[in-house]
A = this chain, B = another copy of it.
């Protein structure tokens, strides 16, 4: 069944005859289109992809399973291709602005506009083989970068320099771009889970946390490794590192299909709490990864849905001691029928450089 057919099968339960998709990651998922302006109408006997003249050639090459309509000045020129009878048209309330909603009501005055909750984000959770191959491709670039970076890092370079070296290799190795802003954080700064790289020198004998990922053929990767710069890791650091690593590996080993995100999160959290660091692990264990680097499911205390085979997600526990530093270890994994397959190939032993 095509992805569009799966959506088509859901229209009745949404209480609509037609659905208008405007969210570009969903449009990429449903049709393969990678440009920056598109609309997609889906009905029982309709699949109408709409874009502007900049994307005429590109959409012919990319768009699967839908008729293409190119407008010259106004997207609503496509109205001529829509059914003439009064229909209920569903639109995703999370992705439609109030001003576009008003325009829809004016321009498609024959339709009854119905706000629905994005029905596509749920479909996107479980990946097919082709999607998993793309994610593996993205992660293999990330792993290759990490290998090279280990040879480059040295005390005296700045966090910004190192971030530049990481991102430089993304395009060089065939990735499209970073999947989020690369994190390079050394010393006490590593205690901030979302640290931005600074124009600050990486010292000798200090912790260094690197969290990065890239897009490859439209799919994201995401990985974190924490290393020690120097020969003599601080004793507290070694203890924290060991705790995070045990938590991370236990969650990967014991996760099973059908467990909820909350249950998987709990495996790692129990290890960290058991070691007395519970209050220093404030974020979720992980999140889904695909066309977006943060997508469903939630692998956290609020993850109430079972994680089913085909789901790609991160496993990334961390311990962050304010003023001292932080450790996070993050793999990308895919749930299979038996447990998780780890897509990340970079080592997790404590690396000293």
List the interface of chain A (C-beta within 8 A of B): 54, 91, 93-99, 101-102, 115, 117, 160-161, 163-165, 167-172, 174, 177, 181, 193-194, 197, 199
Q: Which of B98, B171, B199 interacts with A93 by CB under 8 Å?
A: B98
Q: Are A98 and B101 in contact (CB under 8 A)?
A: yes
Q: Are A164 and B172 in contact (CB under 8 A)?
A: yes
Q: Which of B97, B167, B177 interacts with A171 by CB under 8 Å?
A: B167
Q: Are A172 and B194 in contact (CB under 8 A)?
A: no
Which residues of chain B come closer than 8 Å to A98, judged between CB atoms?
A: 91, 93-94, 96-98, 101, 115
Q: Which of B97, B172, B177 interacts with A97 by CB under 8 Å?
A: B97
> Could you jot down 16 A-B contacts, CB within 8 Å?
A54-B193, A91-B98, A93-B97, A93-B98, A94-B97, A95-B97, A96-B98, A98-B98, A99-B115, A102-B115, A160-B172, A161-B171, A163-B171, A164-B172, A165-B168, A167-B171
A76 to B240 Cα, complex, angstroms: 36
**Chain B CB within 10 Å, residue with most, of A101, A102, A193:** A101
Q: Which of B96, B101, B181, B199 interacts with A177 by CB under 8 Å?
A: B181
Which residues of chain B come closer than 8 Å to A54, judged between CB atoms?
A: 193-194
**Chain B CB within 10 Å, residue with most, of A99, A168, A171:** A171
Which residues of chain B come closer than 8 Å to A99, judged between CB atoms?
A: 93-94, 115, 117
Q: Which of B96, B168, B181 interacts with A164 by CB under 8 Å?
A: B168
Which residues of chain B come closer than 8 Å to A163, judged between CB atoms?
A: 171
A47 to chain B, nearest CB (A): 24
Which residues of chain B come closer than 8 Å to A94, judged between CB atoms?
A: 97-99
A118 to chain B, nearest CB (A): 9
A101 to B98 Cα, complex, angstroms: 8
A181 to B176 Cα, complex, angstroms: 9
Which residues of chain B come closer than 8 Å to A194, judged between CB atoms?
A: 54
Which residues of chain B come closer than 8 Å to A199, judged between CB atoms?
A: 174
Which residues of chain B come closer than 8 Å to A169, judged between CB atoms?
A: 164
If A160-B172, A165-B168 are given as contacts, then 19 extra A-B residue pairs at C-beta distance below 8 Å, sorted by A number, are A54-B194, A93-B102, A94-B98, A95-B97, A96-B97, A96-B98, A97-B98, A98-B98, A98-B101, A99-B115, A99-B117, A102-B115, A161-B171, A161-B172, A164-B169, A164-B171, A164-B172, A168-B168, A177-B181
Query: Considering only CB atoms, which chain B residue lies closest to A283 in the complex?
Result: B54
A82 to chain B, nearest CB (A): 21
- What are the 10 tightest A-B residue pairs by CB atom distance, in nearest-first order? A164-B171, A168-B168, A93-B98, A93-B99, A164-B172, A94-B99, A96-B98, A160-B171, A98-B115, A164-B168
Which residues of chain B come closer than 8 Å to A117, judged between CB atoms?
A: 99
A95 to B101 Cα, complex, angstroms: 12
A91 to B98 Cα, complex, angstroms: 10
Which residues of chain B come closer than 8 Å to A164, judged between CB atoms?
A: 168-172
A172 to B161 Cα, complex, angstroms: 6
Which residues of chain B come closer than 8 Å to A181, judged between CB atoms?
A: 177
Query: Considering only CB atoms, which chain B residue lies closest to A117 in the complex?
Result: B99
A94 to B96 Cα, complex, angstroms: 9
